[in-house]
């Protein structure tokens, strides 16, 4: 199994409070992703990173920010949590395993997920 | 945003039945199609990645085919077992982007 951990695994918070979720990897993979999973929507990309300090927005980035100061850590912050951000959050990593192979073929490896409830 | 469709949305079969489901996607600028298996309360795990038209991949009782010209991939499970119960996701990468677009998945329940 890829070495990916997420913390916390469960969190209950109140509307308006800031929340930070952490994804930590021991694989030294270049690419990291944050997804949210909601019934009827599958996995939707929030933000992704293609290197230290290199990040970009995904499909559902409003209300979220990210930071990546080290290869191994990718943080997702909800500046002011809302009930619509109640979800299960998954981190994923990927890396090209063959020199010259485009990252489009990379397999993603997922963390165990964080269940966030915003009351 | 690419339109990746999976059908059916859910499927109930009896143990021993063979089954298949579909992932449909835009055929233009295709690069790769991934299949993942996602058990309840766990995280998605990779099954296959396919890049070439006509690709066929197999892993035990599970196999997949790819038609990039018409924009679909089939996932087959032969002799379904209760432990095959999971959601099966497909994800497409295309054009110049390495960011995959996931379908909403097919939920398979295999009854003993």
**pLDDT tens across A65-84, in order?**
999 999 999 999 999 999 99
The whole-angstrom separation of Cα A64 and Cα A32 is 15
Name the residue in chain A with its Cα closest to that of B32. A105
CB A2 within 8 A of CB A94: no
- What is the band of A107 on the pLDDT scale with cuts at 50, 70, 90? confident
Query: Could you tell me how many CB contacts below 8 A there are between chain A and chain B?
Result: 50
> What is chain A's length?
119
Going by C-alpha positions, the residue among B69, B64, B71 that lies closest to residue B21 is B64
Going by C-alpha positions, the residue among A48, A83, A80 that lies closest to residue A66 is A48
Predicted confidence at residue B27, as pLDDT, reads: 85
Residue A60 distance to chain B (closest CA, Å): 11
Residue A98 has pLDDT above 60, yes or no: no
Q: How open is the CA angle A94-B51-A96, to the nearest 5 degrees? A: 25
Q: How open is the CA angle A69-A73-A78, to the nearest 5 degrees? A: 85
Identify all chain B residues contacting A105, using CB atoms and an 8 Å cutoff.
31-32, 49, 51, 93
- Burial classification of residue A68, based on how many CB atoms lie within 10 Å of its CB (0-12 exposed, 13-18 middle, 19 or more buried): buried
Of A31, A45, A90, the CB nearest to B43: A90
> What does the pLDDT look like over B25-69, one tens digit per residue?
998 888 899 999 999 889 999 999 998 888 999 999 999 999 999
Predicted confidence at residue B28, as pLDDT, reads: 85
DSSP A106: P
Of A31, A43, A107, the CB nearest to B46: A107
The whole-angstrom separation of Cα B45 and Cα B58 is 15
Predicted confidence at residue A93, as pLDDT, reads: 93
Predicted confidence at residue A100, as pLDDT, reads: 54
Mean pLDDT over residues A8-34, rounded?
95
């Amino acid at each position: 199994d890829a070495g990916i951990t997420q913390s916390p695994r469960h969190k209950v918070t109140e509307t308006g409070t800031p929340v930070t979720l952490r994804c930590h990897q021991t694989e030294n993979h270049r690419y990291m992703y944050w997804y949210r999973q909601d019934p009827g929507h599958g996995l939707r990309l929030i933000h992704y990173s293609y290197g230290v300090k290199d990040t970009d927005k995904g499909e559902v980035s409003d209300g979220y920010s990210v930071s990546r100061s080290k290869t191994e850590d990718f943080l997702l912050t909800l500046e002011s949590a809302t009930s619509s951000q109640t979800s299960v959050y998954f981190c994923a990593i990927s890396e090209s395993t063959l020199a010259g192979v485009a990252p489009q073929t990379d397999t993603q490896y997922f963390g165990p997920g964080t269940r966030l409830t915003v009351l | 945003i690419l339109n990746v469709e999976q059908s059916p949305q859910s499927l109930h079969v009896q143990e021993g039945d063979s089954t298949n489901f579909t992932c449909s996607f835009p055929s233009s600028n295709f690069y790769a199609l991934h299949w993942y298996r996602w058990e309840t309360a766990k995280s998605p795990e990779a099954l296959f990645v396919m890049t070439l038209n006509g690709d066929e991949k197999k892993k035990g009782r599970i196999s997949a085919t790819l038609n990039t010209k018409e924009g679909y991939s089939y996932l087959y499970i032969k002799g379904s077992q209760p432990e095959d119960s999971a959601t099966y996701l497909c994800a497409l990468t295309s054009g110049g982007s390495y960011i995959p677009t996931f379908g909403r998945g097919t939920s398979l329940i295999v009854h003993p």
